[in-house]
Structure 1
Amino acid sequence: MISKTDIDKLQRFSRGISNAEEEKYVYTLFAENEKSREFKKYLQQEFNEYLISNPEENHNLSYLLDRIHHRINKRNSQKRDTVVRKIYRWYSVGAAILLLPVLLAGILWFTVYNKEEVTIQEASVTSTLLAPLGSRISFFLPDGTQGWLNSGSSLEYSLPFSNNRQITVNGEAWFDVAHDKEHPFEVTLGDSKVKVLGTKFNLSAYPEEKYLEVVLEEGKVEFITPGLSSGIVMNPNERLVLNEGAININVTNTSKYSSWRDGKLVFRGDSMDEVARRIARWYNVDVDVADEELNKYTFRGMFQDDSLEEVVHYISMTSPIDYRIVERKQLDDGTIQKKKVVLYQKNME
């Protein structure tokens, strides 16, 4: 018989507010009720109610997986870590809608304590992480790799993941890759790939820009792209740019390329083309460099929590560049045109 105390502790556990003693109580409760039909019925009701109240989560698993990864990383003992990873794989097969911690414990019961034979058929499930325009998100992948996604970027990977660490990125991302010599980490960027074992690096590959950039902070990575007879091995503090088929590698200060994680927009002697490209992405606007003469100028500066108007005004104050801002407007087809910044050379007369 399930008592009111049992239900109260289960509900506290499901909301993630139980203490260590209550958590232990819940796991013991599952162990002691492995043959209880009433207990199994209660779990089924919880599961059905969750499905009804959260139907949309069938289709977007990314933040659910992040929370499961977080639970895995917090486990201190190898035994418990192994159990939770089993639970994680179980979720992957079931479309990961069993996020409720009470159901985590339920799966633990069915896979560890239940004497009946349980057959789990593994299937491939694709998970997608999205960073909406104007935002940045942090994440953990199932293998322990930590990362960030910049504005308007996406990342896809398949589950199970740890034995096949292959992901696809559209946009800009930063990674601190968990070392695993037996299972190299591979990032697909359009037709190109970056292979690593364990390292920190930033990459940018927005499809609409036809511009690919890899900046290596630590370790080594191999860059592979069509047209090369062999991959290019990069060393720390190197920046590789692939632009219209041409590859350029130079030594750089890597911090400015990953400062976006801290909400900082940093320029250190960058060309106006690059300044325009990064401002456009940062503020989700169009930036038009109207005069080719502007490309001979470089710009230095660091901005944090500054508006678009403040940034372009500062550029104008410190260089022979003027600007004009065109506000958003509705076009004839009903779509809304982005705000636009036009940069042009000052009239020095």
Structure 2
Amino acid sequence: MSNNIGVRNQNSIYRMSMDELFNKLKNDRLTPDDLRRLKSHINSSSNDELAQYLSEDTGDNACTDDDMLRRIKKRIDSRIDTDQLKARQIRRYRIALTAASILLPIFIIASAYLYFSGRDIPDGSSAMCSVSTAAGEISTVTLPDGTAVTLNGDSRLEFHADFSVKKRRQVTFHGEAYFDVAKDADHPFEILAPEMTVEVLGTKFNIVAGDSGHPSSLTLESGKVALTATGSDEKVTLSPGERATLTPGSDKFSVDTAAIDGSTQWMAKELIFDDASPESIVAVIENHYGVKLNPAIKNKINENFSGTLPGGSLSETLETLSYIYGFDTSNPTVE
């Protein structure tokens, strides 16, 4: 009898501690000490305990299995060096849980929510998982099949939790990302974007897939991909070093040669320009940070520019650019 009471008390303490840490994580209040406690809880928990907690917390255990739990623990161990974490780094990552999906700048327990959170889905379907980034954020997620996707700011990736066992590994994507697709000839990888569909077997490429009104493009680093324009039979196959661009209102791709480094500078948090027009400079900065620049700054950017700007923060970008164009950076944006 007393043993049962002791177990219940321990479970209650475990639950309270995990609730506290998860709530801090969701509300941007996780400190380095909290992070160490959270990692300790995860590492000391059995798969059953962790699965039970996550299923209770999300209300859905459709994505739960032992292999996923082991991958979660392994990912936490491999991704976190607690001695080097700083509070300002933690605050950059937010996890927002909704009834429909997960908004996930990938970070520690985010891996767990990626696999365990779902929504009410008709019988026969799998839970839907979603990863998204805010403007200016860059996040990397590893999909269940081993495919690594690095998302640029203001991007979104969606897939079914069991997509890797389906005949086609299908994801829906909007924004900009670098894909390193795991090879699996028996399960082709397919990306559904607003203006095009991309079919691959195993390859590396950078994709820009925006809304109507903005060009969509794909730059291939290795392997081979086939692209199809939405609503059309137009298809083009790329070889490494080639870029396909689909302009708004067109169902035909233009293909040219392009260095992958020029398409993935955002991953190094750099903005690279090659004889860019003033309009292009402004558009790149506004899209990268999700802001509207002050007209006073736009008016000062009046000549073409070639060079590399820091892309880690708006203030750094504009400060560097101000030395060239001579504008004031005290009021950089407008609502």
- What TM-score do you get using the length of structure 2 for normalisation? 0.61
- Secondary structure, counterpart of 2:129 in structure 1: strand
The answer for the alignment partner of 2:262 in structure 1 is 256
Deviation at 1:281, TM superposition (A): 2.3
Match of 2:292 in 1: 286
Q: Alpha-carbon deviation of 1:315?
A: 3.2
The CA distance in 1 between the partners of 2:270 and 2:70, in whole Å, is 26
The match for 1:234 is: 238
Q: Alpha-carbon deviation of 1:168?
A: 0.8
Aligned to 2:172: 168
Measure, in 1, the Cα distance between the counterparts of 2:50 and 2:183: 42
Hey, what does 1:297 align to over in structure 2? 304
Query: 1:15 & 1:284 partners in 2: Cα distance?
Result: 37
Mapped partners of 2:50, 2:140: distance in 1: 34
Identity of aligned residues (%): 26
- Structure 1 segment 30-109 matched on structure 2, within 5 A: 47=52, 54=57, 57-58=58-59, 68=68, 71=71
Higher deviation after alignment, 252-261 or 179-188:
252-261
Query: For the residues of structure 1 that align with 2:54 and 2:126, how far apart are their CA atoms?
Result: 23
Distance in 2, Cα, partners of 1:13 & 1:276: 43
Partner Cα separation in structure 2 for residue 235 and residue 45 of structure 1? 45
Question: Counterpart of 1:114?
Answer: none
Which residue identity does 1:260 align to in structure 2? W
2:225 aligned to 221, 231, 235, which one? 221
The equivalent of 2:113 in structure 1 is: none
Checking the alignment, whether the CA contact within 8 Å between 1:271 and 1:299 is kept in structure 2 is no
Matched, 1:138 2:140: yes
Name the CA distance, whole Å, in 2 between partners of 1:69 and 1:44.
10
**Aligned-partner Cα distance in 1 for 2:279–2:139:** 26
Q: Identify which of 41, 58, 70 aligns with 1:15.
A: 41
In 2, the alpha carbon distance for the partners of 1:261 and 1:68 equals 28
Q: Is the 8 A contact 1:69 1:140 kept in 2?
A: no
C-alpha separation in 1, matches of 2:49 and 2:73: 28
Residue aligned with 2:43, SS? coil
Greater strand percent: which structure?
1
Instruction: Give the alignment partner of residue 209 of structure 2, picking from 181, 188, 205.
Output: 205
Does the C-alpha gap of structure 1 residues 182 and 269 become closer, same or farther in structure 2, counting only changes over 3 Å? farther
Question: 2: distance between equivalents of 1:177 and 1:205?
Answer: 17
Q: How far apart in 2 are the matches of 1:311 and 1:280?
A: 11
Of 126, 139, 148, which residue of structure 1 is paired with 2:150?
148
Instruction: Quickly say closer, same or farther: Cα 1:141–1:51, change in 2 above 3 A.
Output: closer
Find the counterpart in structure 2 of residue 159 from structure 1.
161
**Paired residue type of 1:180:** D
The 1:68/1:340 distance shift into structure 2, 3 A limit, reads: farther
- SS of 1:15's partner is helix
1:272: how far off?
Answer: 3.7
Deviation at 1:274, TM superposition (A): 3.4
Gaps of 5+ in 2: 15-37, 76-100, 103-108, 110-122
Question: Residues 190 and 280 (structure 1 numbering): CA distance in 2 closer, same or farther, change over 3 Å?
Answer: same
Tell me if the contact between 1:256 and 1:268 (Cα under 8 Å) persists in the aligned partners. Answer: no
TM-aligned CA distance change 1:312 to 1:327, over 3 Å: closer
* Equivalent residue letter for 2:306: F
Determine if contact 2:318/2:329 at 8 Å carries over to the other structure.
no
Cα drift, residue 135 of structure 1:
1.4
CA deviations on 1:28-87 (whole Å, 9 max, x unpaired) are: xxxxxxxxxxxxxxx79993x7666x3xx349x99x99x938707969xxxxxxxxxxxx
SS of 1:281's equivalent? helix
| Cα gap change, 1:73 to 1:215, in 2 (>3 Å) | farther
Q: Normalization by structure 1: what TM-score?
A: 0.59
| Distance of 1:284 and 1:269 partners within structure 2 | 23
Aligned 8 A contact 1:325 1:340 in 2: no
- Which of 179, 185, 193 is the aligned partner of 2:183? 179
**Deviation (angstroms), 1:340:** 3.9
Would the aligned equivalents of 2:310 and 2:316 in 1 still touch at CA under 8 Å?
Answer: no
Per-residue deviation, 1:176: 0.2
Distance 1:215 1:73 in 2: 34
Give the Å deviation of 1:122: 5.3
1:129-161 Cα deviation digits (max 9, x unpaired)? 111223111101111101111111111112321
The SS at the match of 2:190 is strand
* Deviation of 1:262 (Å): 3.1
2:272 to 250, 266, 272: 266
CA distance in 2, matches of 1:17, 1:197: 36
Aligned to 1:125: 127
